[in-house]
A and B are shown apart, each in its own frame.
Chain A
Amino acid sequence: MRQRVLRIVSDVLGEPIDQLNDGSSPDTVDKWDSLNHMNLVLALEEAFGVQFTDDQIMKLLSVEAIVKALAEVVPATDDAAG
């Protein structure tokens, strides 16, 4: 899942994937502005087929936080797929 998240962050922000890590956030990536954050949330929800809660949307401000939030909402699908 981490790898898919990095891929999507890279696609949406137009930042090479090898420049991204768990700590990547709006503070470390220039293109991660509020508008691109919106695009990122939309792309993540579409790719994983999930809907974040209002609170989660505000907190998805690093790769690590995104992976953590996704783990909360998608474990069931991952198990089913495995």
Chain B
Amino acid sequence: MMVAQREGADGAEQREVKGGVGSKSLPSLSYLQRWGASMLPTLPVLNVTILRNVVLEPIVPYLRYLSWQEGFNAACTFGGYDLVLQDAVGGAPGLLNESTDCVLVFLRLETLSPQLAFGFAGLSAETARQEVQRIREAVVATIAGIRRQTSAMILWHSFELPLYPALGTIDGQRPGEGQTGAVRELNDAVADALHQTRNAFLVDLNRCLARVGADDFYDARYWHAAKAPYTLQALREIAFEDMKYVRALKGRARKCLVLDCDGVLWGGTIGEDGLAGIRLGTAFPGSAFLEFQQEILNLHHRGVLIALCSKNNAEDVWAVFDQHPDMALRRAHIAGARINWTDKATNLKEIARELNIGLDSLVMLDDSAFEVNLIQEFLPEVTVIGLPAGRPSDYRSILAGCGLFDTLTLSVEDRARGALYQIEAARRQVQSESGDMESYLRSLEMALDIRITDDFALPRVAQLTQKTNQFNLTTRRYSDEDIRRLQERDDADVVYLRYRDRFGDAGIVGVCILLYAGETVAFDSFLLSCRVLGRGVERAFLAQCLARAAKRGAVSAIGEYRSTAKNAQVREFYASSGFSAVRDESQGDRYRIDLVDAPPAGDVFRIETDLV
């Protein structure tokens, strides 16, 4: 985890954070209050609005700290106490507007319906039903009201199940009955309403509650003294949970898990203990490692790349992968590996380069404090999690709980990504065999599908604008909702590119957004996943988009390059594609081309398109 070193944090607090994982690793409240005052104001602002019917102001330092770890300066604004419905339905432009990034909603049943929360046993079935219906309508109206005012992500915090339900042991014995049944029904209704609303998600407070434990989650003194039901521990856990969604929204979900081997994937040292001597299997103590591997596999199936970085003899490690009967993780799951005696900082840089992702997309897991420190020192962009020496039984929950890989959607491309990288390795093999580039490219039998974005492609198109960093000319991030609005505009084309070749289908890997004004078309966005670079796809895609613009009556096109920390490789893209630089623009680099001069798409691709 990133530590507060930029802020000159005092040593004790810093040690507390270093290598820590989960909400428990957050610093103390008084430390964060002090730290907050010195926070760098230069980071991009993340506007968070909190609508609530309880007091939870102390959550702010945690939200700000966790946002800072991801490179954002969170500005948190609270709606008035118990004014959620008024703010949502009546309108509150100061709280909910188009610059809002995220709306956190905390509607607690104890305030919303004291009847259901405290007096349930005295309610007739009919009264209880009416009250549930009243709350359900309020929830639906609130969600719709928020959405009318802003397209920001909505994070709705579920109702908590009663710890001691009103009817005691018989409460909820029959599904749907009792106080338990009423709360479950309300949570289902919330989930339904959120599911039908774009960019709106349920945060399950019952899971936060279970992780922390009720005694440490609630403090009745604060509830009575200040209408503040949650302890600091609870607020830490809730902020940590909320941050998983924010991280995904802002394109900061990590893409690759890099694993050390000895002491991480199995117990013992393969070089010394040998295949039969390492601890791995269904029986203790090897079972902890097996469970951990199963969690790694879950991430693989969610589209996270798995890589190895280990100081070892490569053949020893691969022997475990290929021959050990109890390995859940196999060679086929590994997208890249550096198994040698070189320092891990160098190896991690190579892994990032090979997989075409940034260092800040990597999460390294290591059980050696030395390696953890070295990586934190030399590659602060990499997130390093130090696994606790001697506690492999905790590895699984540490990985599952880190939340760094969470996404808001799971596309077909995500689920198949691990396989795609193996296909890429096969392509490189052909390249080294076929010698010259031209015949290599032809041997790939590449086909491009270039089309106007429809509803099926929309989530992936939005996802690409959020996640693509390197081959991205303007790095404009768009939500599903933003893309939908662009789709509906007459003066815009949202174009996607799908790539396949004889090794397989890479899915949707490119996006171009064209904005028309008179006889000019502007390239608002132009991006490609790095997986398909180095074979002329970008030129062909550009040519097709220019042809589309010509067909719609444009005579010239403007390309724009907005510099970021990661997109230097495309600085000259337009200049090298026949565009000439426009000098008199003050904002960013702009390039212009007359469409009659537009370059052809080339003939190494089979192109299918509905653009022209």
Contact residues of A with B, CB < 8 Å? Answer: 7-8, 11-12, 14, 34-35, 38-39, 41-43, 46-47, 51-52, 54, 57-58
User: What is the predominant secondary structure among interface residues of chain A facing chain B?
Assistant: helix
Task: Give Cα A39 to B57, complex, Å.
Answer: 8
Are A14 and B37 within 8 A (Cβ)? yes
Task: Give Cα A8 to B34, complex, Å.
Answer: 9
Task: Give Cα A55 to B33, complex, Å.
Answer: 26
A63 to chain B, nearest CB (A): 15
Are A11 and B33 within 8 A (Cβ)? yes
What are 11 A-to-B residue pairs whose CB atoms are below 8 Å? A8-B30, A11-B31, A11-B33, A12-B29, A12-B30, A35-B57, A38-B55, A39-B29, A42-B222, A46-B30, A51-B221
List B contacts of A12 (CB < 8 A): 29-30, 33
Given the interface contacts A46-B28, A47-B28, does A39 sit within 8 Å of B33 by beta carbon? Answer: yes
Beta-carbon contacts under 8 Å, B206-231 to A: 221-222, 224-226, 228
Are A46 and B232 within 8 A (Cβ)? yes
The answer, yes or no, to whether B71 is at the interface (CB within 8 Å) is no
List B contacts of A57 (CB < 8 A): 221, 225
B29, B31, B34: the one contacting A42 at CB < 8 Å is B29
List A contacts of B57 (CB < 8 A): 35, 38-39
List B contacts of A46 (CB < 8 A): 28-30, 232
The answer, yes or no, to whether B58 is at the interface (CB within 8 Å) is yes
Given the interface contacts A11-B30, A47-B28, does A42 sit within 8 Å of B224 by beta carbon? Answer: no
With both beta carbons as reference points, the residue of chain B lying nearest to A57 in the complex is identified as: B225
List A contacts of B221 (CB < 8 A): 51-52, 54, 57
Are A14 and B33 within 8 A (Cβ)? yes
Task: Give Cα A17 to B57, complex, Å.
Answer: 23
Best-surrounded residue of B31, B225, B228 (most CB of chain A within 10 A): B225
A26 to chain B, nearest CB (A): 14
With both beta carbons as reference points, the residue of chain B lying nearest to A56 in the complex is identified as: B221
Given the interface contacts A14-B37, A38-B58, does A54 sit within 8 Å of B30 by beta carbon? Answer: no
Beta-carbon contacts under 8 Å, B174-232 to A: 221-222, 224-226, 228, 232
Instruction: Report the interface size class on chain B.
Output: 10 to 19
Are A47 and B30 within 8 A (Cβ)? yes
With both beta carbons as reference points, the residue of chain B lying nearest to A52 in the complex is identified as: B221
Known: A39-B57, A42-B232. 7 other contacts (CB 8 A): A11-B31, A35-B55, A35-B57, A38-B226, A39-B58, A42-B58, A57-B221
B371 to chain A, nearest CB (A): 32
List B contacts of A34 (CB < 8 A): 226
Task: Give Cα A46 to B13, complex, Å.
Answer: 14
With both beta carbons as reference points, the residue of chain B lying nearest to A40 in the complex is identified as: B30
Task: Give Cα A70 to B222, complex, Å.
Answer: 18
List A contacts of B37 (CB < 8 A): 14
**Nearest 6 interchain pairs by C-beta:** A43-B30, A11-B34, A11-B30, A11-B33, A43-B29, A38-B226
B488 to chain A, nearest CB (A): 43
B458 to chain A, nearest CB (A): 42
List A contacts of B29 (CB < 8 A): 12, 39, 42-43, 46
Task: Give Cα A7 to B28, complex, Å.
Answer: 13
List A contacts of B28 (CB < 8 A): 43, 46-47
Task: Give Cα A7 to B30, complex, Å.
Answer: 9
Task: Give Cα A58 to B224, complex, Å.
Answer: 11
Are A38 and B33 within 8 A (Cβ)? no
Task: Give Cα A34 to B55, complex, Å.
Answer: 11
List B contacts of A41 (CB < 8 A): 222
List A contacts of B222 (CB < 8 A): 38, 41-42
Task: Give Cα A11 to B28, complex, Å.
Answer: 11
Task: Give Cα A7 to B31, complex, Å.
Answer: 10
